[in-house]
Structure 1
């Protein structure tokens, strides 16, 4: 493995960023696999995330209308939706609250959640500040773990 990681206590919830003006979605508070089969979807490029999504859905990814893929959502995912390219499959931790009023996030049902982690390259010398940061994160997580009574 080329990377190492530190598990974080946060959990990201998967959902879909959809246009608020879409009348078919107006009354929905969650989206199911059947809902997604009829939508143009913008999905993450990473195969591991696509596989996780496909396992959740219990269907082959070919059953979805994948209109585009993304790697990094620079500037936020709203433009994909507002431009009409498709609805963005993402996690709530990628939303910064600055999304357009023309879009909204609908979580998946049944819920799909992903554990968060701090990932860094293994066997690569970290800068002094990065090394201090990593040690502090580990120390803080250990302290949280001990104070919660979990040994």
Structure 2
């Protein structure tokens, strides 16, 4: 498949209009239409639902859009790595997961020394992050321990996540300084869907997951739209906070678990991966003392 066709497809998908996409690409509309038809014929599927003024993607088109973005990004990243010289570092370092304090500070220091280097942070759930890491779209990822050491090399970061619940300040548990197992079992909870994190909670409580009233799950720690989730009264949000955080967030508060449950963050990368000079230098420059 020609990479040029993927660029044409992405431009059309992003614009939602073939005429506008053709102007962006500096080609004629008939030429772009023909190229898109050839792409559909090559893939033996329909990628667009063509309306009078706007086109939308079919299910197959949505899949191709995601993969095209990854392929083009990977190609551009590879070109940067090949053309990069250590004495004049430039390009993009991609980091997935939760860019915590130590990683953000490392990025800031590295950018000061190498202004032509920029960073791209990608936030999603652990499954998506590790898939992107496997396919070379990401250089590094920041995940909560434990780490699959058969697949990944890693550096333990000084940042830790203290587990507890986010609740409204008028919730009856807000008067507590900490949350016990019995407290947690007495209310509906919203928790992360990652199986390992769920097992950690069950081990902490010395019970099985079925004992909890799990009202919902989410895929990012802390969950996006935290305040909206907590204010919904669907359940208390079982998640994490940095140990140094202020535990008050407007009319939302955080109460840590007791006994304390604290997990470490790790910077991970694919084991036996041919690391780019840029990624190697970032690792050496930023984390040699850890």
CA distance in 2, matches of 1:74, 1:17: 10
Structure 2 portions without partners, runs of 5+? 1-149
CA distance in 1, matches of 2:187, 2:168: 11
Pairs aligned (count) = 140
RMSD over aligned Cα, in angstroms? 2.5
**Residue of 185, 206, 228 corresponding to 1:79:** 228
Q: What displacement does 1:27 show?
A: 1.9
Q: What displacement does 1:47 show?
A: 0.9
Are 1:14 and 1:108, in contact at CA under 8 Å, matched by a contact in 2? yes
1:40 aligns with 2:188: yes
Q: What displacement does 1:123 show?
A: 3.0
1:14 aligns with 2:183: no
5 Å matches for 1:43-62?
A: 43-62=191-210
1:90 aligns with 2:239: yes
1:134 aligns with 2:280: no
- The structure where helix makes up a greater share of residues is 2
| 2:258 alignment counterpart | 109
CA distance in 2, matches of 1:12, 1:87: 18
1:69 aligns with 2:217: yes
| 1:27 alignment counterpart | 175
Q: Secondary structure of 1:53's match?
A: helix
The list of structure 1 runs, each at least 4 consecutive aligned residues, that deviate by more than 4 angstroms after superposition, is: 94-97
Q: What displacement does 1:100 show?
A: 4.5
TM-score of the superposed pair, with normalisation by structure 2: 0.44
Larger radius of gyration: 2
| 1:145 alignment counterpart | none
CA distance in 1, matches of 2:260, 2:213: 21
CA distance in 2, matches of 1:25, 1:71: 25
Structure 1 portions without partners, runs of 5+? 142-151
Q: For residues 35-59 of structure 1, what are the alpha-carbon distances to aligned partners after superposition, in whole Å with 9 as ceiling and x for unaligned? A: 0111111111111111111000001
**Residue of 267, 272, 277 corresponding to 1:118:** 267
Q: For residues 11-56 of structure 1, what are the alpha-carbon distances to aligned partners after superposition, in whole Å with 9 as ceiling and x for unaligned? A: 321111111121x224211000000111111111111111111000
- The structure where strand makes up a greater share of residues is 1
